Every structure is written in structure tokens, then in C-alpha cells.
Amino acid sequence: MNEIDLSGQVAVVTGGAQGLGLAIARRIAGSGASVCLWDVNEAQLARAASDIGPAAAAQVVDITDAEAVMAALAATEARLGPVSILVNSAGIAGPNHTLDEYPLADWRRVIDINLHGTFHVNRAVVPGFKARNYGRIVNIASIAGKEGNPNASAYSASKAAVIGMTKSLGKELAGYDIAVNCITPAAARTPIFDQMKQEHIDYMLSKIPRGRFLEVDEAAAMVAWLVSKENSFTTAAVFDLSGGRATY
């Protein structure tokens, strides 16, 4: 593993109880940062923090609730100190349906978690980052946000919006030592697969020239650099982990 120096940093990783979020939190902690895992699943959250060790703390929070996000940030900073890194990995796939048959309640839930939740956590940390003239944000989007996956219109739309929001915020903060970027991974075998039909999983695999799914540690390696001080120039950018699928 390459050494990325994050010593003295305090990170928040949403969706940190499992999947990509947990892998990223483990890599960040292994690079010397203190990390607070944010998630709605209290039992999984406690296990994840225990698995990482003393560098990890846990905070139960629903990122769709803007006031709860602000309270979680205050609690995290009271415990660990000023947050300097945010990785927003919380998200859901939603069910697979054609757009004309997509259940309205499911559409709203996917957008609420994937887009509104990302907005809430970005909005919460930015004032502190600006005041201290330092911060690193990575939002987890998806290759589906670039190309669109059939029978996944809510997920594809939400991740396209995350890409656009990341680019906008990165430009707004370009005059500070604050980097705001996102990654667009291809699918990885995480619990999010439990929300998908097998034919949709097979479709995603068929689109990846590498012929395999992303490994969570591969995503964590890219994010570790993006949230480091070495990433002092790149902002408002999109980094692909699509195994060759991306066409732009």
C-alpha cells in the first residue's frame, strides 16, 4: 500500500458502516487521520468503528435531515476536532423499473438520499473549511451518472446531479485551499447489490471492459490521494473508476 500522509486530519465518511464507505474510512484511518463514520444503521456502525480501531468514531445520522447533519457535525468536532476531510459515500440504488413504471415513493427516496443528502453534508462542512482555508471533499457519484443505466433512472439521475453539484461547488471554492471532487465508480460487490435484480447486475458487468467489478480497496486508494494535501490543484473534477467503461 502506498503511503498517504493524512496525519493530524479529521475525516467524516458518510455511509461508513459498510461497502465503499467502510473501505475508504479504513484507508483514511490507516493513513493517520481520525475518522468519524456517519450512518443510519447503528448496529453496523458500531461494528465498523470497532473493526477500524481507536482511530474511528461513530455517529448515527440520517443525512436526509439537514438539522440532524448539522448536529452530527457539531458532535463530531466536539469529539475529534475540526473536520478537514469529507467523503460522502452514503447512497442507495433503489429498485429496478422502467421510468414509466418507477414508483413515486422510491424515486423520491433515491433522490432524497443520494442528492439531497450529499447537498446537506457538503453544505454543513463548507463554512468551517472556508474559515480555516483548508478542506478536501470527495463525493461518490457513479458511472451511471455519466452514461445512464436502463431501469435505474432515479439512481442515474441522482448521480448525474451529484457530478454537477460537485463541479459547481468546486468552482465556488477554487479561491481557497479546498478541493471538491467526485469519483464515478463502476459497480462493486457491496450490499447495494441486494437492492438490484440479477439481470441488472449482469448488465453492469457486461459493460466493464476489465471483465470484473471494482474492488472497494481500489476506490479507497484513489480517494486517499484526493483527500490528501498532495491534491492541491485539482478541483471540480470527476475521476473514473469504471474499468474502461467510461466514454468521456
Distance CA 15, CA 164 (A): 21
CB count, 10 Å around CB of 62? 16
Distance between first and last Cα of the chain: 29
Cell numbers found for residue 92? 442507495
Tell me the average pLDDT of the chain.
94
Confidence band (pLDDT; 50, 70, 90) for 89? very high
Cell numbers found for residue 241? 473508476
- pLDDT above 70 covers a percentage of the chain that reads 97
Residue 247 placed within a domain = no
Average pLDDT score over residue span 220-237 = 97
pLDDT at 233: 98
Residue 225 placed within a domain = yes
Residues near 214 by beta carbon (within 8 Å), at least 6 away in sequence: 185, 186, 187, 188, 241, 243
CB count, 10 Å around CB of 75? 15
Residue 4 placed within a domain = no
Encode pLDDT of 201-217 as tens digits. 787 778 788 888 888 99
pLDDT at 87: 98
Residue 153 placed within a domain = yes
Which of 102, 134, 155, 176 is an active site residue? 155
Cell numbers found for residue 72? 452530527
Q: Quick one: how far is CA 32 from the chain centroid?
A: 20
Confidence band (pLDDT; 50, 70, 90) for 189? confident
pLDDT at 78: 98
- CATH code at 100? 3.40.50.720
The better pLDDT of the pair 199, 156 is held by 156
DSSP state string for the chain: ------TT-EEEEETTTSHHHHHHHHHHHHTT-EEEEEES-HHHHHHHHHHH-TTEEEEE--TT-HHHHHHHHHHHHHHH----EEEE--------B-GGG--HHHHHHHHIIIIIHHHHHHHHHHHHHHHHT-EEEEEE--THHHH--TTBHHHHHHHHHHHHHHHHHHHHTTTTTEEEEEEEE--BSSGGGGGS-HHHHHHHHHT-TTSSPBPHHHHHHHHHHHTSTT--S--S-EEEESTT----
Residue 219 placed within a domain = yes
Average pLDDT score over residue span 113-137 = 98
Of the candidate ranges 9-13, 57-61, 143-147, the one whose mean pLDDT is the lowest = 143-147
Cell 478541493: give the residue: 179
Q: Which domain holds residue 79?
A: 10-241
pLDDT at 212: 84
Confidence band (pLDDT; 50, 70, 90) for 186? confident
- Residue 221 — left, alpha, or beta (φ > 0 → left; ψ -120 to 50 → alpha)? alpha
Report how many domains make up the chain: 1
pLDDT at 50: 96
| Alpha carbon separation from 21 to 31, 97, 133 (Å, rounded) | 15, 26, 26
Confidence band (pLDDT; 50, 70, 90) for 194? low
The better pLDDT of the pair 200, 165 is held by 165
User: Does the annotation mark 176 as catalytic?
Assistant: no
Distance CA 135, CA 130 (A): 8
Average pLDDT score over residue span 185-206 = 75
pLDDT at 1: 67
Contact between residue 103 and residue 95 where contact means Cβ atoms under 8 Å apart: yes
